[in-house]
Structure formats: structure tokens, C-alpha cells
Amino acid sequence: MVGIDTHSDTHHVAVVTEYGKPLADQGFPTTAAGHREAFTFITGFGLVLQVGMEGTGTYGAALTKILQGKGMQVIEVNRPNRQQRRLKGKTDSLDAYRAAHSVIAGMSTAVPKAKDGPVECLRVLRASRGSAIKSRNATINQIKGLLVSAPEALRSKYQGLTTGTMIEIMVRSRPSGHLADPSYVTARVLKALAVRYQHLSAEIEDVNAQLQDISESYAPMLQQLTGVGTDVASQLLVTFGDNQERVGNEAQFAALTGAAPVPASSGKTSRHRLSRGGDRQANCALHHIVLVRMNIHRKTKDYVTKRTEEGKSKREIIRCLKRYVAREVYRQITHPVPAPPVLDLRPLRHSLGMTLQQAATDLQTWPSTISRLERGKMRDDELLDRYRTGLHQRA
């Protein structure tokens, strides 16, 4: 059994027997030659059963791919327990041995992400998109901050305008004056920031288009679920990973996304609470789906009403809905179910002389929801069945 503590410049490798007896440990540089030396060191003590490694997705990503390419089973190991580190100390050697012992004890069983397919492309694009969004937010905040203390003539020029209109006017502006004039310098800086804002917006739109293309080619039916758009779908796929076998069932996926219920009972109280573990970005994606469905999805609305009458709080209801959504997303990723055909709905409605408003009134929903349903831009099988049944009854 092997344990590896990874760092940016060096990896420390420890080898133990299958019963946990230490054999040897040594550090190696994080270079191609160092990885070859580490592999030679690992295989020099006999058959390798498993390799426990910290940071398989960061510092240890390159070594993980090499060992997996050689047919070794690599297990992802979490950071050592802080209490244990305080009691027994911390060195690279001790961390490497702890990694091996945690695999022997069965405390670490997670399979690392493959990072060799379309999902890895999504992860890289999302990282670029996240930094661009953060920079764009900082840019518009700087613009508004400068306008607060800008000269009155400049401040009144942009007062009451929307962000888009204000940016367009700033980009088209032609400041004139000298560098000793605060009004002129402020106008120049505002124009430069507005140009930066437009460039970042164009970059974000380009990345969104690439995310859309990859998501539709890799998991085309995931976005057919109600409340799942490109951003949500890409995040859930990144959390799931390229190698789907690393998540064995929907319960593991729920725990991975922080949607699994956590027991919080005591005495006469029997309840569950929200999970604060798992991938928080994936949990945020599930939260977004739930909020959308609570506004437009009839079945979800009925569920919220029912659970509210039972005395459940809004937080508890959202926690339950997240669990249901996690199950639905897992099944759609692993065993996708195509959406029912919808191309016949609009011609049938037109033949009956019905408007979108009339159809929406009959179904107690919004006209925009009916329009998106007819165009295949959203998926709601229950609403679709009621809509098609109502149209056929009128016919």
C-alpha cells in the first residue's frame, strides 16, 4: 500500500505493507523525471494494491494520471484530521503514511475524477467565466464609485440611466481637456472602464456559447429538465465528473452535492437538517433549480403547499426538494430520458383559435411558460400532459 502527500514542488511517497507496517518513504520533485523515479520507488517493494493520494485534482493530478495509466488503483484521500495533527505532529512523511493508513482502514474510498473528457473542458471554461464575471462586477462597481464623487456636470450626465445605456454612452464619449482637470481625467477613466466592461461582457458571452455547445453534445437531455440551464447543467456535470462510475448511486450524488438529509434529532424532536458538506457550487445549482420550480412548476407548488400545511418551514421544504432534484438529475445524467414531442401543440392551439393567454388561463400559469413549452425550451411532463389533454378535449 502506498500513501502520497502532494505539494507544488515535491511529492512525498510512503510505502507500507497491507497490514500497515512502514517500509520506506522518500520525497521526489514534481517533474517528469521525478514522477518516473517515484513510480520506480513505488514498484520496488512488490505488488501495489492501492495508492492513497492527497490532492488528486490539484498538485497530484499529473502523478495520478501516470499511476492510473500504469494500471494502479488511486484513492483520493482527504486532509488529515486537525485534532490528530495537533496530537501527533505534522510532516510530509507523517502525512504520506497517514494517507496509506487511511486507505487500509477504509476511511478513504473516493475515486479521483478522470479529468480527460468534455467535463474537464467545462471546468476550465467555468473557471475562465468566473474570473471574467468577478472582474466585470469589480469594473461596474468602480464606475459607480467614481460617479459618486465625480463633478456635478459629469455625475448628472449619467444619473438615472441603466447600466447598459450608461456603458454605451461612456464608450462613445470623447473627453477633452488637460491632465490637471479632475473632470477630464475622471471622464477618461470612466471611458476606459466602460471599454473594459464591454470586453469582459463579450468574453463571458463567448464562454457561455462554448459551455452551451459542450453541454448539449455531452448531456443534451439534462437541460430539458425544468429549471436547468447552461450554467446549472455545466456545474452539475463538473461535479459529477467525466468518469461516471465514481458515483455509484443517486444517494452518493446527493451527498456529493450537499443535498443528503443529515439527522438532527434530540430527545422528543425527530428531524433532519440541511447538509453543510459536499460541493457548495453544485448545491447552489440545485438551489437555483428549486427556486425556479417553486415559481413555475405546478407539481412543486402543490408540494410546497402540502408541506407548509404540515408545519414544515421553508428551509426544510427546500431541503426536501433539493433531495428530489438531485435524484432526478442523477437519473437524467446516467440514464437520460428524452422529452415528449411538443411540435404538435402550437398548430393544434392555432387550429382551435386559442391565444397564449387563454391557454395559460386554463392551466393557471403564465403565457411565457406555455410559449416555452411549445418551443421545447422547458420540460414539464405534468404540465404538458394537462395542456395536450385540454387541447384534445376542446377539439
Residue 10 main-chain phi, psi, to 5 deg? -140, 155
Around 381, how many Cα atoms within 13 Å sit in the side-chain half-sphere? 6
Residue 29 main-chain phi, psi, to 5 deg? -70, 155
> Going residue by residue through the chain (395 aa), what tens digit of pLDDT does each one get?
999 999 999 999 999 998 889 999 999 999 999 999 999 999 999 899 999 998 888 899 899 999 988 889 999 988 776 776 777 778 889 889 999 998 998 888 888 887 778 888 999 999 999 999 999 999 999 999 999 989 888 888 898 899 999 999 999 999 888 888 888 999 999 999 999 999 999 999 999 999 998 988 888 788 888 889 889 999 999 998 887 778 888 988 998 899 988 888 888 888 877 778 888 999 999 999 999 999 988 889 999 999 999 999 998 899 899 999 999 999 888 887 777 788 888 888 888 888 889 888 888 888 888 888 888 777 777 888 888 888 888 87
How many residues are given for the chain?
395
CB atoms within 10 A of CB 362: 15
pTM of the model: 0.76
Residue 132 corresponds to which cell in the numbers above?
Answer: 471574467
In this prediction, residue 288 carries a pLDDT of: 95
Task: From residue 123, give the alpha-carbon distance in Å to each of 211, 218, 281, 328.
Answer: 10, 13, 12, 22
Answer for the pair 31, 63: CB distance below 8 angstroms, yes or no.
no
Task: From residue 322, give the alpha-carbon distance in Å to each of 51, 318, 331.
Answer: 34, 6, 14
